[in-house]
Amino acid sequence: MPLVDTAAPFVVRDLALAEAGRHQLRLAENEMPGLMALREEFGPTQPLKGARIAGSLHMTVQTAVLIETLVALGAQVRWASCNIFSTQDEAAAAVAVGPTGTVDAPAGVPVFAWKGETLEEYWACTERIFDWSGEAAAAGADFTGPNMILDDGGDATLLVHKGREFELAGTVPAAEDGDPEEWRVILGVLSRSLDASPDRWQRTAADIQGVTEETTTGVHRLYELARAGELLFPAINVNDSVTKSKFDNKYGIRHSLPDGINRATDVLMGGKVAFVAGYGDVGKGAAEALRGQGARVIVSEVDPINALQAAMDGYQVAKIESVIDQIDILISGTGNKDVVTVDHLLGLKHLAVVGNVGHFDNEIDMAGLEAVPGAEKIEIKPQVHEWRLPTGRSILVLSEGRLMNLGNATGHPSFVMSNSFTNQVLAQIELYAFRDRYATDVHVLPKHLDEKVARLHLDALGVELTTLTPEQAAYIGVEVDGPYKPDHYRY
Amino acid sequence: MPLVDTAAPFVVRDLALAEAGRHQLRLAENEMPGLMALREEFGPTQPLKGARIAGSLHMTVQTAVLIETLVALGAQVRWASCNIFSTQDEAAAAVAVGPTGTVDAPAGVPVFAWKGETLEEYWACTERIFDWSGEAAAAGADFTGPNMILDDGGDATLLVHKGREFELAGTVPAAEDGDPEEWRVILGVLSRSLDASPDRWQRTAADIQGVTEETTTGVHRLYELARAGELLFPAINVNDSVTKSKFDNKYGIRHSLPDGINRATDVLMGGKVAFVAGYGDVGKGAAEALRGQGARVIVSEVDPINALQAAMDGYQVAKIESVIDQIDILISGTGNKDVVTVDHLLGLKHLAVVGNVGHFDNEIDMAGLEAVPGAEKIEIKPQVHEWRLPTGRSILVLSEGRLMNLGNATGHPSFVMSNSFTNQVLAQIELYAFRDRYATDVHVLPKHLDEKVARLHLDALGVELTTLTPEQAAYIGVEVDGPYKPDHYRY
Ligand SMILES: NC(=O)c1ccc[n+]([C@@H]2O[C@H](COP(=O)([O-])OP(=O)(O)OC[C@H]3O[C@@H](n4cnc5c(N)ncnc54)[C@H](O)[C@@H]3O)[C@@H](O)[C@H]2O)c1
Ligand SMILES: NC(=O)c1ccc[n+]([C@@H]2O[C@H](COP(=O)([O-])OP(=O)(O)OC[C@H]3O[C@@H](n4cnc5c(N)ncnc54)[C@H](O)[C@@H]3O)[C@@H](O)[C@H]2O)c1
């Protein structure tokens, strides 16, 4: 696609995909009871009326349900994806057309996202979610940008902070040798912006009441900003809600890891030796799924506490090199780099399946594999490659070492995302409607809201909750309606 | 037994049990690798040399290994149980005789504990662990009491705080109508103490450098004291080490619950419907054990987060009254009261098994059951009673509604307790040897020590830990040797 047309009201791959997208949205809505319950509860009172939300989060079917929930609660929304590959084009089209619009007369949300953006396109899209001139003109108002950010990974937040910083400095620094390509692109965007307006990001930042952040990386950046005293507005760390981190990572992977292996390889997992590197939440879900399929699972860990948990859960715990020649399925889920080295890859059994559910593609040393003299890469089908190795053996690498549960399957299922996104919506309401409660710092959602998120997902599963009697509540020192646990409770 | 003879160097049921106790200690030592590793690591440097530890914790075989570890690290110790029923008399005898003593020439630790103490005896025993006059005389020193407390439930800590408070007030208050029996006993002890010395507890309190507390209840009391500004010395909350709470409660119950059902009833669990009230750590362990035996497990919860976890783990979640007529095995593990009511008991299937692993006997309404007109109690064997109900059906109640994993089986196994107690010893070393690091407040053990506890238990399970490369450690922002996780990490 060309660079984003700054006049276009939205930019998606193909509006004709909207109908297919709408079907998927309808099915997803049934699996996202938390979001649908919020529409019912808050639709009438419109707590997000007046909110202008700039959203930067994977433009998937599930995110489409999130977006339309925000709109149902009164918000105006502009949206970009937070990853160049993660957009589902039919979901983007459906959101642009909107539930009441048509392909000829789209009446949805301004969305700027398609699968396979270049870095330039990506940051141009991100910039567009901050350009509310059309909305301002339509409202006869004089705002420049959003008054809320909904972020995943912190790119939208970064743009505001850096934009304002460079405006105050009066200049955008030149990229230096060794700066990552992406940083050059960002500097380019901000430099053009500074040429066009000396105070656009200052005005934007001043209007923003808060950001709600979805994921670890973004949260990490926010804490750094707060520590440095540079955070410009209050933030809610959605990632560390129990109903996010203890559900998304564990139960999401448990679902999508075996799905990815099946779709990619059609290889039986039962009876095989599966190796899972890392026994955090992702590793726990991966190991459970593989054991559930009858595989014998071996785990590796560097943290003795997680290692002991794995042992107590009945898994062999070993270094990868100690068992490499037994492994049929090798899964890495640590968030670390070089967990699977070229030596490991060379030591695997013939046609062992290798997949990453942890983080970047450096979790498995793909660069090293490509550099192995004589190694030959054969595409079996997209995202599934046989690597013929000089050892005479082959291995099957999924999604080129990138997240295979996304590349070979469809990633987190709607029900899991409903938990995460219900946290997002509640966090948006908190920061927008109760802004006085939150100082300019990084907060987690109060526990009663975390519990509310869980509550909204019980009926769909046929769960019947017990209610405390007042005497029981007093006896254990809580209110009948919660919160039920101290903050340090680990679940 | 008579009230504790204040001249006796120790009081146990029967020294002749020492040999049987020593056999059990030897076997337990093999299952307590953490404690044995500490003996090896710290034996030569004697970090507890000079420590005079007053210990109040169930006088079991596992505790005996703890006591002898403290001694091996240089401490002097006096010990009482923290529960009138929990002493294993052979363990107490073995500790009194000591590894090098004989029944005729005991050379162990002054222990004041036997199974089945009265409340008067219990508090007299607790008072005796604060009487270090013999040790002072032997050392030609002028101390009165201990300089450290190792507590489980907070009774020892309470005695010092209340003793000092009443001395400062110049009088011990009279018990009031409605005060629990136990409080009367405590007031009696402190009143006699005040008659004998106007400042004994003040001198004792002044000498104490810290307390390490084992369990929830005691920790709760400590936080209350700290909040009220009344805490007299630093405290370490051992309970909330990950290697305590996430291991002890969950894996301990997973072991001892089915064990108790088997020893008590010899009833097959497979295929039966088992109901578990509560899905905290105890409930998670209970449900896993029952599912592992092939039972169909139904869970109840009041906390929607835990309820959703149970559902995601594949359990039906229901109110007890909705499924009462399906239940073959009813287990309560909430820590709450009246979880199982008389109506529930009357609605159960014929000869359903009823057991409590949660807390006090009021978790199941035993008082109500006893008051049912026409109900008849038949002892099948000790701790196993058939209750013939007016409905024409019977139920089997384990341990009279008290903790059945202790009453019908042997409670937490040594390996689990090794984790908890290794935390205890490290906490004692911290407060005794590094007292300057700890203000008068309630602390948890630093994470690197929590990780150390886990580390010391890996070899025994054949776990092979992976080591981070310096590059990997830098990449995820930790040191190669840990700590590996932020404090809020939930495991
Ligand atoms: N694929 C997905 O859809 C998906 C979903 C959620 C999270 N993630 C990513 O997965 C990664 C793990 O997430 P998590 O929640 O489990 O984190 P976590 O911190 O709970 O677990 C990671 C574990 O890996 C261990 N580890 C680190 N380096 C290791 C090494 N070299 N060898 C063995 N073990 C090692 C750590 O000790 C830790 O216990 C993160 O990067 C996260 O962003 C992916
Ligand atoms: N038997 C043993 O050997 C043993 C060992 C460890 C702990 N415990 C005791 O077990 C109890 C539970 O410990 P835990 O670590 O699991 O605590 P926890 O707080 O993790 O779990 C208790 C759960 O029970 C739920 N609950 C409370 N009232 C309820 C009700 N009326 N109906 C259904 N669910 C209800 C709570 O929401 C909570 O999730 C505590 O009293 C603890 O002292 C016993």
Ligand 1, atom nearest to A281 Cα: 16
Whether B228 maps to a domain, the answer reads no
Residues A272 and A184 in one domain: no
Residue B24's domain is classified under what CATH number? Answer: 3.40.50.1480
Alpha-carbon gap, residue B246 to B485, rounded angstroms: 15
Q: Could you count the other beta carbons within 10 Å of the beta carbon of residue A51?
A: 23
Please report residues of A whose CB lies closer than 8 A to that of B338.
469, 471-472
Whether A53 maps to a domain, the answer reads yes
Choose the closest CB to B491 out of A251, A455, A490.
Answer: A490
Q: What is the pLDDT of residue B412?
A: 92
> Identity (one letter) of the amino acid at B363?
E
Cβ–ligand 2 contact at B310 (below 6 Å): no
B113 neighbors B125 (Cβ within 8 angstroms): yes
Q: Which of A254, A323, A334, A404 to mutate to test the pocket of ligand 1 (most atoms within 8 A of CB)?
A: A334
Q: Is the pLDDT of residue A288 over 90?
A: yes
Residues B66 and B140 in one domain: yes
Q: What is the pLDDT of residue A3?
A: 59
B96 neighbors B113 (Cβ within 8 angstroms): no
Q: What is the pLDDT of residue A2?
A: 53
Nearest residue of A to residue B278, measured between CA atoms: A466
Residues A91 and A34 in one domain: yes
Tell me the pLDDT band of A398, cut-offs 50, 70 and 90: very high
Q: Where are the beta strands (DSSP E) in B229-322?
A: 235-237, 273-277, 296-300, 316-317
Whether A242 maps to a domain, the answer reads no
Q: Which two tokens stand for residue B429?
A: 């070393």
Residues B37 and B124 in one domain: yes
Could you report the per-residue pLDDT of A194-214, keeping only the tens digit for each? 999 999 999 999 999 999 999
Alpha-carbon gap, residue A338 to B347, rounded angstroms: 59
Q: Is the pLDDT of residue A421 over 70?
A: yes
Tell me the pLDDT band of B3, cut-offs 50, 70 and 90: low
Domain with B263, as residue range(s), is 251-408
Could you report the per-residue pLDDT of A260-269, keeping only the tens digit for each? 999 999 999 9
Cβ–ligand 1 contact at B484 (below 6 Å): yes
Please report residues of B whose CB lies closer than 8 A to that of A484.
302-303, 305-306
Q: What is the pLDDT of residue B344?
A: 98
Q: Where are the beta strands (DSSP E) in B83-140?
A: 111-112
Preceding omega of B483 cis (within 30 degrees of 0): yes
The packing angle between helices B155-169 and B181-196, to 10°, is: 50
Q: List the binding residues of B.
A: 60, 152, 214-217, 244, 248-249, 278-285, 301, 306, 336, 405, 412
The packing angle between helices A181-196 and A200-207, to 10°, is: 100
Could you report the per-residue pLDDT of A75-97, keeping only the tens digit for each? 999 999 999 989 999 999 999 99
Among the bound ligands, name the one nearest to the CA of residue A259: 1
Choose the closest CB to B490 out of A246, A451, A454.
Answer: A246
Alpha-carbon gap, residue B56 to B125, rounded angstroms: 9
Q: Is the pLDDT of residue B2 over 70?
A: no
pTM: 0.94
Q: Is the pLDDT of residue A6 over 80?
A: no
State how many domains chain A has: 2
Single residue among B384, B408, B432 that ends a domain in this structure: B408
What's the ipTM?
A: 0.94
Task: Please give the distance, rounded to the nearest whole angstrom, from the Cα atom of residue B181 to the centre of ligand 1.
Answer: 53
Q: Is the pLDDT of residue A1 over 70?
A: no
CB contact under 8 A, B491 and A337: no
Among the bound ligands, name the one nearest to the CA of residue B472: 1
Residue A368's domain is classified under what CATH number? Answer: 3.40.50.720
Alpha-carbon gap, residue A308 to A279, rounded angstroms: 10
Whether A221 maps to a domain, the answer reads no
Whether A152 maps to a domain, the answer reads yes
Q: What is the pLDDT of residue B42?
A: 98
Residues B196 and B267 in one domain: no
Q: List the binding residues of B for NAD(+).
A: 215-217, 249, 278-285, 301, 306, 336, 405, 412
Across chain A, mean pLDDT equals 96
Residues A303 and A389 in one domain: yes
State whether residue B330 is helix, strand or coil: strand
Q: Is the pLDDT of residue B35 over 90?
A: yes
Closest CA to A96 of A118, A113, A73: A113
Was A153 annotated as part of a binding site?
no
Residues A91 and A147 in one domain: yes
Residues A262 and A351 in one domain: yes
Task: Please give the distance, rounded to the nearest whole angstrom, from the Cα atom of residue A359 to the centre of ligand 1.
Answer: 8
CB contact under 8 A, A306 and B461: no
Among the bound ligands, name the one nearest to the CA of residue A476: 2
Tell me the pLDDT band of A7, cut-offs 50, 70 and 90: confident
Residues B199 and B259 in one domain: no
Whether A161 maps to a domain, the answer reads yes
Please report residues of A whose CB lies closer than 8 A to that of B485.
303, 305
Task: Please give the distance, rounded to the nearest whole angstrom, from the Cα atom of residue B286 to the centre of ligand 2.
Answer: 11
Please report residues of B whose CB lies closer than 8 A to that of A319.
464-466
Please report residues of A whose CB lies closer than 8 A to that of B452.
304
Q: Where are the beta strands (DSSP E) in B193-292?
A: 210-213, 235-237, 273-277
Residues A256 and A166 in one domain: no
Q: What is the pLDDT of residue A181?
A: 94
CB contact under 8 A, B300 and A466: yes
Single residue among A208, A239, A262 that ends a domain in this structure: A208
Q: What is the pLDDT of residue B6?
A: 76
CB contact under 8 A, B336 and A458: no
Residues B182 and B298 in one domain: no
Q: What is the pLDDT of residue B217?
A: 86
Single residue among B351, B380, B408 that ends a domain in this structure: B408
Choose the closest CB to B243 out of A305, A468, A476.
Answer: A305
Q: Is the pLDDT of residue B411 over 60?
A: yes
Lowest average pLDDT, out of A228-237, B175-184, B312-321, B416-425, goes to B175-184
Could you report the per-residue pLDDT of B70-121, keeping only the tens digit for each? 999 999 999 999 999 899 999 999 999 999 999 999 999 999 999 999 999 9
Sheet holding A273-277, edge to edge: A316-317, A296-300, A273-277, A329-332, A352-356, A394-398, A384-388, A376-381
Could you report the per-residue pLDDT of A118-176, keeping only the tens digit for each? 999 999 999 999 999 999 999 999 999 999 999 999 999 999 999 999 999 999 999 99
CB contact under 8 A, A475 and B300: no
Cβ–ligand 2 contact at B29 (below 6 Å): no
Please report residues of B whose CB lies closer than 8 A to that of A307.
454, 458, 463, 465
Ligand 1, atom nearest to A363 Cα: 31
Q: Whose CA is nearest to atom 18 of ligand 2?
A: B280
Nearest residue of B to residue A467, measured between CA atoms: B302
Tell me the pLDDT band of A359, cut-offs 50, 70 and 90: confident
Q: Is the pLDDT of residue A393 over 90?
A: yes
Whether A435 maps to a domain, the answer reads no
Per-residue CA distances from A157 to A204, A420, B282 (Å) = 11, 19, 42
Alpha-carbon gap, residue B290 to A117, rounded angstroms: 51
CB contact under 8 A, A339 and B472: yes
A238 neighbors A423 (Cβ within 8 angstroms): yes
Whether B360 maps to a domain, the answer reads yes
Among the bound ligands, name the one nearest to the CA of residue A308: 1
Tell me the pLDDT band of A5, cut-offs 50, 70 and 90: confident
Mutate to test the interface with B, among A340, A456, A465, A485 (most CBs of B within 10 A): A465
What are the helix and strand counts (H, E) for chain A?
21, 15
- What value does the mean pLDDT take over residues B261-274? 98
Alpha-carbon gap, residue B424 to B53, rounded angstroms: 12
> Identity (one letter) of the amino acid at B49?
K
Of all helices (H) and strands (E), which one includes residue B76?
strand B76-80
Q: What is the pLDDT of residue A217?
A: 86
Residues B204 and B255 in one domain: no
DSSP B11: B
Cβ–ligand 2 contact at A472 (below 6 Å): yes
